[in-house]
Structure 1
């Protein structure tokens, strides 16, 4: 998947799908970033106060650190990360070797339900990205 040549139409389809599958579920903010921390797209619920640019840079670093730890324990990778706080949670999931889907959500959403929706969203993202340009 080469996201560098994604069309505006494909990005709009992904934004609509992220809104339908995750924001309407109750996710505060969802973004797709590359492994360098660049934001490909970001959606929020209109009430989110996250600094998505700082968050994306830190998230990429966090994922790289955990990737290095995976290799230290003999794993190829940890493709999913989850951070749980008292009121806020962060879920990271790899779309492919270049991209991450990050969801920030509160305690109202169960992790299992979110994960089901994230798996479905990633499948749809891959299909949209792989369409002929």
Structure 2
């Protein structure tokens, strides 16, 4: 699949998956980016005010840095990252070698519950693209 060329119908299906699996459980904002920091799509709860473009660029750099650290310790990769704050948390997970899913969520959602829903969303997205 060429992620640079995504049809409106494909984006709608992806957004539906992100809404059902993540936004509806209380995630504030979800951003799907490529590894260069280009936004594929973004969904939010209607109340978030994040600068998703700056966030996407910084997230791609952060993930690339951690990927380099993984190789330094003998790992092929770290496929997910998690940053915990007092009020806000950020979860990064690879969809595949080219795409990253970023979830921004508050302290009212447990990391385990979020991870289950992220894995399910990624499976649905990958199944969707496998059928294309």
TM category, shorter: over 0.9
User: Any residues of structure 2 matched to 1:32-47 within 5 Å, and which?
Assistant: 32-47=32-47
Instruction: Give the SS at the match of 2:90.
Output: strand
Question: Separation in 1 of the partners of 2:48 and 2:129?
Answer: 27
> What TM-score do the two structures reach when normalised by structure 2?
0.97
Residue in structure 2 matched with residue 94 of structure 1 by the alignment: 94
**Aligned mates of 1:5, 1:53 — CA distance in 2:** 19
Structure 1 Cα separation of the partners of residues 104 and 46 of structure 2: 13
Shift of 1:3: 1.5
Segments of 5+ residues of structure 2 without an aligned counterpart are none
CA RMSD of aligned residues (A): 0.9
SS in 2 for 1:67: helix
Superposed structure 1 runs of 4+ greater than 6 Å apart: none
* Cα displacement (A) at 1:23: 0.3
Aligned length: 132
Per the alignment, residue 116 of structure 2 pairs with 116
Query: Displacement of 1:41 after TM fit?
Result: 0.1
Per-residue deviation, 1:2: 2.9
Distance 1:54 1:77 in 2: 24
